Amino acid sequence: MKKVMFVCKRNSCRSQMAEGFAKTMGKGKIEVTSSGLEASQVHPVAIEVMEEVGINITDQTSDALRSFDPEEYDAVISLCGCGVNLPQEWVLRDIFEDWELDDPDGQPLETFHRVRDEIKEKIEGLINNLDA
């Protein structure tokens, strides 16, 4: 089973939504973790917009990337364009993608919905790619 790390700046919105979608849509196919360049907390609006699509992320935690070993992961997905700031060993995994999605933090609810839907679409593609 492939192991995937989703990473963004604070591990509060985008990477948390990605983790929720990937755990649900990739159940039995991939193992999923998310982290941030720094840890913070799971954003309440991220929790809210994921609940709207039937995914509960309230038990997820915000963790710092440095707490994990890159050797344990097959794929690393940056959601914020922060790939340039990641330690080299993370960027050199078998699969590395930088999705560069907008940060919905501090933005209107519509931005959370748009980013959530963009993440879902990208997760579908990622799971298909890892399955191939």
- Give catalytic status of residue 8 as yes or no: yes
13 tagged catalytic:
no
Three-state DSSP class for 29?
coil
Residue 44 CA to its chain's centroid (Å):
16
- Beta-carbon count within 10 A of 81 CB: 15
Distance CA 7, CA 54 (A): 23
Catalytic choice (7, 8, 75, 86): 8
Tell me the sheet residues that pair with 77. 6, 97
28: left (phi over 0), alpha (psi -120 to 50) or beta: left
| The one catalytic residue among 80, 86, 123, 126 | 80
- Both tokens of 118, joined, read 């963009």
By three-state DSSP, how is residue 40 classified? Answer: coil
What residues are labeled active site?
8, 80
